[in-house]
Amino acid sequence: MTDNVIETCRLTKYYGAKAAVDQLSLTVPRGSVFAFLGRNGSGKTTTIRLLLGLETATRGTARVLGCDSQSLTPEMRNRIGYLTESHFAYGWMTIDECERFQSGGFRQWNRELFDAVIRHFGLARSSRVRHLSRGERAGVCLAMTLAPEPELLVLDDPALGLDPVARRALLEAILFVTRDERRTVFFSSHLLDDVERVADHIAILDGGVLRVLCPAEEFRRRVGAWIVRFEGPVPQLPPLAGLLGVTCLGNEMRVTVANELEAAEVALRSLSGVEIKSVPVGLDDAVVSYMDDRGRRRSLLQTIAGKTTSEPAGISPPDVGNLTPVRGLTPPGSPNE
């Protein structure tokens, strides 16, 4: 039986009139490496701060390790490690003093682990934090987060601003934590390659709304893409359930779909295309298609092309927004009924 280390139920946070986090309900199972994805400003950091009780939710609940986020006791906080987005440490402290300060705040401290991480990054204990580079400071923060050996690691965009070596060390640290199957890692990231490597669960947040919450393989299984080639100009796409995005380039139309893959293929074959080919979808393509405003956005190149040349009459990329059915229902009268 796996219990959930993090559970939220309709968690909502408003800033002014805008909802930064909108009815978020997610669960993070124990022992998983959970990646939390989303664009900048989609509410990831807000969610993390809500989970740790650093912000107050407008409504909804969040529970971490079974304890309500708003009333995390010191014992609970002792079991959670938190790495802030900016890799904060007091500039005036030396690394030794950082250890002294941080170890005073937790009940247990693994000195050898701290030493090992510091040595791996090639840092001297007597150097001051303000003289360290971003990557070195990340190393110090990583050491400070790992040393108390917390049950749950919460990392807010931990690879931000790090060089490839530091990023690799970060991934290895995450894997180190997973050696103990009772320990969980919850992190947010933009680096989809790293996510693909280490994450076994992903969640995608778009505009404060949770769009995806599933194990990583399931995600890959449920997203599919096809390229349909036409002889003449590209026709209007009929309404398609689960349509993620459509791009048109010349005579070819690339369609990305989630969930209803067989139905989508059937619908595409019914078009008057010359050829239809299923293409594999990489993780980053799939994730990006979730974040591009429900297919409304075209590629940057298309936008530039649209602005500098006049489009030939009769050819316009299908407006996906109008085609998207609400609540997964296809409207009556669509061709694939």
Partner 1 sequence: MRTLLWKEFRENWKWGVLLLVASAIGHAAMQSNERRIALFTTDYLMFAAFGFSLGALLLGVLQTVFEAQRDRWAYLRHRAITPERILLAKVIVGLSLYAVAVLIPLLLLTVWSSIPGKVPAPFHWSAPLNGLVMLLAGAPYWFAGALIGVRDVRWYGTRLLPVGGPIMGTAGMVIVVESVGLPTLAGGCAALIVFAATMTAMAVATAGAFRNRTGYLNQTRRSRWCLALSSAVSLGLLACAALMTIGGTLEDLRLPWMWPSRIVLHEIDRHGRLIRWERAVDPHDPYARALCDLTVVDQGEGIAPSVSVSDLVMSVSLSHGRSDGNPPRFLRRGFGQDGPYRRLGDLWANPRPHHWFFDPNERVLLGYEQRTRRLTWRAGPDGIVPADQPVAQRFSSGPSESVRSSRIVWSGFAEVQRQAGQSLERIKSALDWTQALQFEDGLYLLDHDRPRLSRVYAVEAPDRLIDLAITQRQEESAMWMVHDRVIRKFVLTEGDRVLAPIDPNGHARVTDDLVRGEFTIPNALQGIGQFGFAELPEKNLVVYRAYRDGAAFEQGALHTFVATPEGKILRHIVSNGGSSYHQRVSLFGAVLLPAIPATTLTAWWSPAERLSIPGVPIESVVSPPSREFVIVMWASSLLSLLVTALLVWHWRFSRTSSLGWLAATAVLGPAGLLTLLTLRERVLNVACSGCHKPRPRTSERCPHCGQYFAEPERNGTEIYATLAESKLSRSIAEPVTR
Partner 2 sequence: MSIEFQITPGSATPIYRQVVDQVRLAVAAGDLSAGDPLPSVRMLAEQLVVNPNTVARAFGDLVRDGVIESRHGQGVFIAAKRKVFADDERDRRLSAVLDGLLSEAAALDFSAAEVRAAVDRRLKEVGLRKR
Both tokens of residue 138?
A: 């990340």
**Which entry of partner 1, partner 2, none binds 279, CB below 5 to 8 A by partner kind?**
partner 2
Q: Sign of torsion, CA 118 121 124 127? A: negative
Which one of the spans 19-27, 103-111, 118-126, 165-173 is the region binding partner 2 (CB under 8 A)?
A: 165-173
Q: Which spans in the chain are helix H?
A: 44-51, 74-78, 95-104, 111-120, 134-146, 164-177, 192-198, 216-222, 261-269, 283-291, 300-308, 320-323
Told to check if 1 binds partner 1 by CB under 8 A, we report no
Cβ partners under 8 Å of residue 250, min gap 6: none
- Residue pair 31/184 in contact by the 8 Å Cβ criterion: yes
Q: How far is the CB of 198 from partner 1 (least distance, A)?
A: 15
Q: What are phi and psi for residue 115, nearest 5 degrees? A: -55, -45
Tell me the sheet residues that pair with 206: 209
Told to check if 299 binds partner 1 by CB under 8 A, we report no
Tell me the sheet residues that pair with 27: 7
**Which entry of partner 1, partner 2, none binds 300, CB below 5 to 8 A by partner kind?**
none
The contact pattern for partner 1, residues 12-51, with x = CB under 8 A and - = no contact, is x-x--x----xx---x-x-------------------x--
**DSSP of 63-88, one letter per residue?**
EETTEEGGG--HHHHHTEEEE-TT--
Rg over CA atoms, the chain: 23
- Between 30 and 229, CB nearer to partner 1: 30
Of 124, 266, 279, 305, which lies in the binding site for partner 2, with binding defined by CB under 8 A? Answer: 279
Told to check if 193 binds partner 2 by CB under 8 A, we report yes
Told to check if 109 binds partner 1 by CB under 8 A, we report no
Burial of 232 (0-12, 13-18, 19+ CB in 10 A): exposed
Q: How far is the CB of 293 from partner 1 (least distance, A)?
A: 11
Of 44, 77, 167, 183, which lies in the binding site for partner 1, with binding defined by CB under 8 A? Answer: 77
- Residue pair 83/142 in contact by the 8 Å Cβ criterion: yes
**185: three-class secondary structure by DSSP:** strand
**225: three-class secondary structure by DSSP:** strand
**Which entry of partner 2, partner 1, none binds 196, CB below 5 to 8 A by partner kind?**
partner 2
Of 190, 211, 220, 294, which lies in the binding site for partner 2, with binding defined by CB under 8 A? Answer: 220
Query: Site residues (CB under 8 A) for partner 1?
Result: 2, 10, 12, 14, 17, 22-23, 27, 29, 49, 52, 54-56, 58-60, 70, 74-75, 77-78, 80, 82, 84-86, 88-90, 92, 100-107, 179, 208-215, 217-219, 221-222, 241-244, 258-260, 290, 294, 324-328
Site residues (CB under 8 A) for partner 2? 33, 168, 171-172, 175, 178-179, 192-194, 196-200, 216-217, 220, 279-284
